[in-house]
């Protein structure tokens, strides 16, 4: 029989499963669902039968891409679990999930210990103040070492590990754990049998007592009540130790460490027990605080009777309907209720409320404080929006989205699909705020930006599979410029046209040269889409070219700057001086002088020494100190010019100017050279000449 939440708030747990890719967090989630009766068949990642990795791409790639919410019941408690991605490209999905969680289980590989993305998601949880317990998984693997994994937790994460279990057996012989809090053995017989409880094996008793003493000493150093009992008696009681571990976990001063093998179904029951014992309920976390529209702030406690307040953390805009995922922080909401999107001021009506089990849903009549549910009927709210009671508006702080670091150009293979592609891209960006879509005003390309190349590969595959679009994906064209290196003087151009009726006559003499630093924009402004520089002056004396005709020459020159002689790129950084000219009493006009100015400058530019400019970016790279050499070598290979380097807290920060064309693929290369621990940010830094011999792409 499917469990239905009837629990009090104190018996609710909202948990996330966090880990590096392949540490086993999806398997942990699947075992939790099977063990609690939420599913009747164990899902396996390698078979593509998992509940939470339900998307076709997740099953093909064998990784979690989209955060999936599931619910289950254990020991009288209601547990909402979000299985989060482990790949660095989907860190934004983790960020949005952590924003609405009260606690988390961090899963570590018993062979690898703390891996790069484990460290990243741990830091994300630190920023959100989410209490965690740790589960060292895969103790049945060759080379598994609980103590080494614990050491890496201490050293890499800077926290105090509180190891409450020790393994029974090693590698293939791993059959269970010793519970150091209650001094008992928990064993799972061969063949994935049920849990059996018994006394600590005699051969392990001395080691278990030693580890129990280490645990007591560590906890006593963090908790006053435990310290008092530790000093007064021979040992700390199980009840006092449990209470102290709960307090230390919730304050973040330490992390409880358990161990097991989720794949072999060993260690999951005590992990669930630890989750409900040590991690907080909605009543144990501070009341949410938000801004009141019009000024001021207010708090909302986790109370079903308080004004309804919920945060949207995920949107799934499927063709069959739009699902909006909510964490309800306060109040109660039922079907048909009108709610306010506090940020936009738009009123929405909730048509249905769904209890979520990954891609399967069950309709419920209402949602109350502490719930994580999906709703149907909300048409416009985006991830990060606050939905609240119309009479008590409050805007909660949304999760922050990182700036995209990789871009690709996307276009429909069939021109008739251009409109559908725009709609599909808008839907992808609505579901995933870390994806951005823009149209390059100069190249006309549709540019899709995201957190990494895998992130963009997944998005492109969604366009093909979910939206039935044939798309081509490639490197965006870089917006090059051309500029004058050495100019010409006294360039003469005569424009004469006589084809019946009024003729056209304009005679101009131009000096053309590079625009010096600090030069103003006289009569020019932006030229043909160029970002700067067109300085135009008239030095004509004696009224040989009237002022209105000089302005027409300036306009014609701006027209000419739209395409340069080297490759048709916009021309920038040019100074033009009109030094002389002549008019005709009948055939001269502003149109004639504009045409003359355009043609004269085009001819003059062909006579000038020109060069192509490329956009460059200022890149700040943060890497471990042992990876600095590899990173500097890679920057040099990308024609980067290092401008500075410093050391901050054990990491090196390198700043460099790098051509934008060379940054394509840099995110993946940097992660590969630093084992996923390197990050970078970039910002536009203007233009620089393309060196001789470098192709213009």
SS3 of 215-250: the string is HHHHHHCCCHHHHHHHHHCCCCCHHHHHHHHHHHHH
pTM: 0.72
Q: Which residues of 395-428 are buried (b: 16+ CB within 10 A; e: fewer)?
A: bbebbebeebbbbbbbebeeeebeeebeebbebb
Q: What is the pLDDT of residues 462-497, one digit of tens each?
A: 888 888 889 988 876 677 889 999 999 999 999 998
Question: Does 19 carry a binding-site annotation?
Answer: yes
Give the pLDDT of residue 467: 83
Give the pLDDT of residue 591: 93
Provide mean pLDDT across the span 390-394. 93
Contact 442, 409 (CB under 8 A): no
Give the pLDDT of residue 523: 38
How far apart (Å, rounded) are the C-alpha atoms in residues 317 and 462? 12
DSSP secondary structure letter of residue 404: P
Most confident of 620-624, 634-638, 689-693: 634-638
Asked whether the predicted pLDDT for residue 682 surpasses 90, the reply is no
How far apart (Å, rounded) are the C-alpha atoms in residues 642 and 633? 11
Question: Does 314 carry a binding-site annotation?
Answer: no
Alpha-carbon distances of 494 from 95, 497, 585, 661, rounded to whole Å: 65, 10, 15, 41
Give the pLDDT of residue 114: 87
Give the pLDDT of residue 522: 38
Element (H, E) at 447: strand 446-450
Question: Does 87 carry a binding-site annotation?
Answer: yes
Tell me the longest C-alpha to C-alpha distance in the chain.
Answer: 116
How far apart (Å, rounded) are the C-alpha atoms in residues 558 and 556? 5
Express the helix, strand and coil content of the chain in percent, nearest 5 each. Answer: 30, 35, 40
Question: Does 36 carry a binding-site annotation?
Answer: no
Alpha-carbon distances of 212 from 31, 154, 196, 220, rounded to whole Å: 28, 18, 21, 12
Question: Does 25 carry a binding-site annotation?
Answer: yes
The answer to which of 231-235, 308-312, 607-611 has the lowest mean pLDDT is 231-235
Helix axes 453-465, 666-673, angle to 10 degrees: 130
Question: Does 86 carry a binding-site annotation?
Answer: yes
Q: Which residues of 541-577 are buried (b: 16+ CB within 10 A; e: fewer)?
A: eeeebeeebbbbbbbbbbbbbebbbbeebbbbbbbbb
* Sign of the torsion angle spanned by Cα atoms 652, 653, 655, 660: positive
Question: Does 24 carry a binding-site annotation?
Answer: yes
Please name which of 247, 298, 297, 245 lies closest in space to residue 274, comparing C-alpha atoms.
Answer: 245
Any idea how long the chain is? 697
Give the pLDDT of residue 26: 84
Q: What are the backbone angles phi and psi of residue 449, rounded to the nearest 5°?
A: -120, 145
Q: How confident is the prediction for the chain on average, in pLDDT?
A: 86
Alpha-carbon distances of 223 from 10, 18, 103, 230, 243, rounded to whole Å: 23, 27, 20, 10, 10
The residues that bridge with 69 in the sheet, in sequence order, are: 82
Question: Does 22 carry a binding-site annotation?
Answer: yes
Question: Does 83 carry a binding-site annotation?
Answer: yes
Asked whether the predicted pLDDT for residue 133 surpasses 50, the reply is yes
Contact 17, 82 (CB under 8 A): yes
Band of pLDDT at residue 498, cut at 50, 70 and 90: confident
Helix axes 547-560, 590-607, angle to 10 degrees: 50
Question: Does 20 carry a binding-site annotation?
Answer: yes
Residue keyed to tokens 């592609």:
421
Percent of the chain, pLDDT > 70? 89
Question: Does 290 carry a binding-site annotation?
Answer: no
- 438: tokens are 């823009």
């Amino acid at each position: 029989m499917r469990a239905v939440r009837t629990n009090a708030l104190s018996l609710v747990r909202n948990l996330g499963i966090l880990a590096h890719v392949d540490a086993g967090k999806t398997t942990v989630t699947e075992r939790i669902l099977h063990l609690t009766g939420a599913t009747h068949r164990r899902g396996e990642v390698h078979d593509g039968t998992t509940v939470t990795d339900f998307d076709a791409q997740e099953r093909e790639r064998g990784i979690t891409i989209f955060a999936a919410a599931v619910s289950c019941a254990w020991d009288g408690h209601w547990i909402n679990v979000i299985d989060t991605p482990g790949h660095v490209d989907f860190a934004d999905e983790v960020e949005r999930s952590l924003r609405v969680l009260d606690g988390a289980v961090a899963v570590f590989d018993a062979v690898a210990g703390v891996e790069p993305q484990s460290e990243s998601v741990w830091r994300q949880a630190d920023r959100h103040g989410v209490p965690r317990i740790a589960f060292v998984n895969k103790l049945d693997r060759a080379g598994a070492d609980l103590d080494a994994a614990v050491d890496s937790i201490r050293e890499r994460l800077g926290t105090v590990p509180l190891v409450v279990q020790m393994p029974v057996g090693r590698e293939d012989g791993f059959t269970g754990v010793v519970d150091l809090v209650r001094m008992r053995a928990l064993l799972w017989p061969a063949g994935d049998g049920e849990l059996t409880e018994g006394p600590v094996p005699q051969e392990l008793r001395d080691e278990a007592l030693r580890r129990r003493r280490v645990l007591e000493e560590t906890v006593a150093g963090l908790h006053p009540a435990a310290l008092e009992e530790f000093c007064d008696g021979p040992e700390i009681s199980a009840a006092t130790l449990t209470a102290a571990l709960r307090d230390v976990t919730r304050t973040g001063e330490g992390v409880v460490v358990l161990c097991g093998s989720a794949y072999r179904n060993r260690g999951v029951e005590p992990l669930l027990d630890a989750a409900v014992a040590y991690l907080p309920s909605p009543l144990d976390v501070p009341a949410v605080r938000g801004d009141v529209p019009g000024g001021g702030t207010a708090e909302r406690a986790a109370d079903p009777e308080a004004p309804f307040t919920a945060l949207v953390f995920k949107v799934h805009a499927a063709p069959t309907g739009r699902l909006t995922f909510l964490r309800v922080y306060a109040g109660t909401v039922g079907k048909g209720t009108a709610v306010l999107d506090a940020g936009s001021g738009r009123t929405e009506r909730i048509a249905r409320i769904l209890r979520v089990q990954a891609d399967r849903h069950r309709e419920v009549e209402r949602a109350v404080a502490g719930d994580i549910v999906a709703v149907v009927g909300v048409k416009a709210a985006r991830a990060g929006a606050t939905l609240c009671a119309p009479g008590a508006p409050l805007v909660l702080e949304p999760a922050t989205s990182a700036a995209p670091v990789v871009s690709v150009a996307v276009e429909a293979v069939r021109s008739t699909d251009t409109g559908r592609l725009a709609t599909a891209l808008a839907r992808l960006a609505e579901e995933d705020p870390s994806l951005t879509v823009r149209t390059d005003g100069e190249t006309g390309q549709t540019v899709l930006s995201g957190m990494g190349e895998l992130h963009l590969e997944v998005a492109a595959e969604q366009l093909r599979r979910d939206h039935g679009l044939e798309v081509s994906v490639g490197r965006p064209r870089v917006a090059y410029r051309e500029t004058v290196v050495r100019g010409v003087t006294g360039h003469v151009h005569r424009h004469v046209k006589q084809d019946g009726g009024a003729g056209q006559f304009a005679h101009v003499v131009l000096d053309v040269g590079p625009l010096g630093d600090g030069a103003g924009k006289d009569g020019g402004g932006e030229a043909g889409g160029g970002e700067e520089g067109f300085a135009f002056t008239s030095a004509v004396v004696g009224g040989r070219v009237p002022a209105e005709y000089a302005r027409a020459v300036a306009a014609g020159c701006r027209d000419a700057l739209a395409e340069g002689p080297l490759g048709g790129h916009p021309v920038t950084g040019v100074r033009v001086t009109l030094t002389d000219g002549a008019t005709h009493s009948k055939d001269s006009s502003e149109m004639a002088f504009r045409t003359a100015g355009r043609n004269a400058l085009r001819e003059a530019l062909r006579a000038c020494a020109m060069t192509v400019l490329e956009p460059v970016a200022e890149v700040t790279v943060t890497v471990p100190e042992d990876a600095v050499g590899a990173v500097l070598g890679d920057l040099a290979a990308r024609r980067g010019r290092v401008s500075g380097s410093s050391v901050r807290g054990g990491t090196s920060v390198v700043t460099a100017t790098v051509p934008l064309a060379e940054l394509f693929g840099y995110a993946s290369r940097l992660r590969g050279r630093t084992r996923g621990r390197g990050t970078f940010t970039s910002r536009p830094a203007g233009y620089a000449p393309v060196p001789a011999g470098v192709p213009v792409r």
